[in-house]
Amino acid sequence: MNSSRPYILRALHQWIVDNECTPHILVDANYPQVKVPPGYAADGQIVLNTAPAAVRYFEIDNQAVSFEALFSGAPFSLYVPIAAVLAIYARENGQGMFFDAHSDVLADDDEELLDESASDTDEPPTILHAVDSETPADPIDPDDEPPKPPSSGRPSLRIIK
């Protein structure tokens, strides 16, 4: 069966745009065949604004997300294999979806690429998990500090290892 990830990405991207929000995708910049501008990735990841006003030639097919965008005023063609997309969310409110780096929505070909790239490094893969500030992930330990209320600033992603 085909991977469901490209279908989910297309649907969520359209949903975010239809709700007049700015779609952003979080990409594993170290994934094989990823083509993003050098020097813009931090910690092996890059967040890309994929709003229709910010990109040209935007396409999500079953293999990759591709488009052209300006970086420091210069056009750059980006190519992101579907398996390298770690999340898609709306900048304004953080609503969207996070994907496990090794989730079951990967196609067999994508898993083979990940296995090949994992053999090149001794570092374990980073897996992102959605963090819901309203529902604690673990039972409350009395020795822990009480949770801080969410700030009213921009949404952000947090890596949990």
Q: Which pair of structure tokens corresponds to residue 92?
A: 């304004």
Per-residue pLDDT of the chain (161 residues), as tens digits, is 888 899 999 999 999 999 999 999 999 999 999 999 988 999 999 999 999 999 999 999 999 999 999 998 899 999 999 999 999 999 999 999 998 766 544 444 445 544 554 445 454 444 444 444 343 444 444 455 555 555 566 666 677 76
User: Into how many domains does the chain fold?
Assistant: 1
Q: Is residue 68 part of a domain?
A: yes
User: Which domain CATH number covers 15?
Assistant: 2.30.30.220
Predicted TM-score of the model (pTM): 0.64
75-120 confidence digits (pLDDT tens) = 999 999 999 999 999 999 999 999 876 654 444 444 554 455 444 5
Residue 60 lies in domain: 5-118
For 64-125, the DSSP string reads EEEEEEEETTEEEEEEEEGGGEEEEEETTT--EEE--TT-TTS-HHHHHHHHHHHTT-SSPP
Report d(CA 128, CA 20) in Å as an integer.
26
Q: Is residue 86 part of a domain?
A: yes
Q: Is residue 152 part of a domain?
A: no
Whole-angstrom CA distances from 73 to 53, 54, 69, 78 are 15, 12, 9, 15
On whether the CB atoms of residues 43 and 86 are closer than 8 A, the answer is no
On whether the CB atoms of residues 12 and 97 are closer than 8 A, the answer is yes
